[in-house]
A and B are shown apart, each in its own frame.
Chain A
Amino acid sequence: MHSLAALTPLGGPLPKTEKIGTLTISEITNCALASVTLRRGKDQAFAVAAETLFATALPAPGVWQQAGVYGLIWMGPDQWFIEAPFASHEDIAQILKAGLGDSASVTEQTDGWVRFDVQGARVVDLLERLCPAPSRRMQTGAATRTLLEHMGCLVICRETAQHFSLLAPRSYAKSLAHALTAAARSIG
């Protein structure tokens, strides 16, 4: 048997947290992630299966919502990202596929992305330096895919003007961490 050490996207054995001024930037690794895409012509079967699985309808454009253990995030027309605690849902793709059957295509995404959570009263000041999305107007429940310092990112508002999650492709981890910490230092 191999005995391989799991590394975080930033390359350390444990996720990093950095405090800069009043802002906290944390690498988050306790989340499993999968994408769910509606298959053509399966709208009705998909709506029923999704409602059974999540006990709610999937969110509208630009919106995410928590449904039990699942975070449901709108990604694009007929596509959603589903997040859940890694400890209980490491095999999230299989769990979702079992629930949705052939009405949707499910793809494992967990290790494809790096997630940073930025918290603090000046989080909007930070995002406005990096990102064209209107972070000051984003309320709890808003989620949108946009650019952040030229990197394609998913911006999720967990709490209005206080707490945002930023997801970027995993290979951008160090670049995104650099952009976030540099911007945080410029705010002071």
Chain B
Amino acid sequence: MTSETKKTLFTPFNIFAGIVLLIGAYLTVMRFTGGLAAVTNLDDNNPWGIWIGFDLLCGVALAAGGFTTSAAVYIFGMKKYHSAVRPAILTAFLGYALVVFALHYDVGRPWRLPYPIFLQPGTTSLLYEVGLCVFLYLTVLAIEYSVAALEWLGLKKLRSLVHKLTLLLTIFGVVLSTLHQSSLGALYLIAPSKLHPLWYSTYLPIQFFVSAIAVGLSMVIFEGTLSHKPFHHKMDATFLAEHDGVILGFARGASMVLACYLAIKIIALGADNNWKYLVSGWGAWYLFEILGFVALPSLLYAIGSRERNIKLIKWTAALTVFGVVLNRFNVSLVAFNWQLPSAQRYFPSWGEIGVSVFVVVVGILVFRFIVTRMPIFYEHPEYKDAH
């Protein structure tokens, strides 16, 4: 091994990723030989832990950039954001693929995951609807993403055929995302006695959907910011020229959507007359989430967009992403089973945290593998202006 190869292979991130993959492999063996009890703190009171609260709820919400960006470009005709579509679709595709991957760890008998779709459809169940939508949308995203892979492989005829489906797939993607982003919130409607009244609301499905749009727009900015330094050499002149416009436009959109989300949250408080809970410890935590991670980012996005302050917008995108993760954690874990004594409350085990970190690292490695080889941040020279 030459010293140059050593230098590029043994980077701090690669060493960290290697350690995480080894720990992930160990935890995978533990999980599939010893069962859920061997690596999790799950029990009958808390059957859904961070593999649902983080890997699934956050994974699906953070992948919303795919349908928001493609809808903006292909349905609303905002062609100036076109260069953001492929990174957003790739992030969404990997996000959903990892959600399904992580689900294999969480369900008791993962080999039965296809059963609800093909053998025993429970058509009156919300969970069935979520499963069907995720299954269909992952397929849609795989086809949408495959255009880049086919260009890389040089399969021109197949690429041309798939590319003709773009508008149809975008519409299908928007419909499916609207359905399952909201249904993930609707899952918690079944537990009014378990979820704290400040977070429980009949508006939960709308809150999940609207916050997913806000975090989808933010993820495009956030992911673009993170990618800019390591993959700058892969970005073509069009991508770099449109980059600031994408950030400013998406910041304006995210500001208004976050304001909508804040409005729905306030109306939900008023409709259920839950004001009294605000003056409690739970109320302080709720206000921390709403003021710090919804109202503040909405205002900062507005200021950033008005003043064309790209740096402020990038930091606000990170704040929004963290805020939606915090909201999903609050709904699924923190404010869930809030009346149970602390000894019976759920806290994730190291094994659960390890698997979640493992899943994220696998996602980053696959993302890096793809963007360093396929036309994601640049247009393939043979397909210039073929959009």
Do the two shown chains form a genuine complex with each other?
Answer: no
Interface residues of A, Cβ cutoff 8 Å to B = none
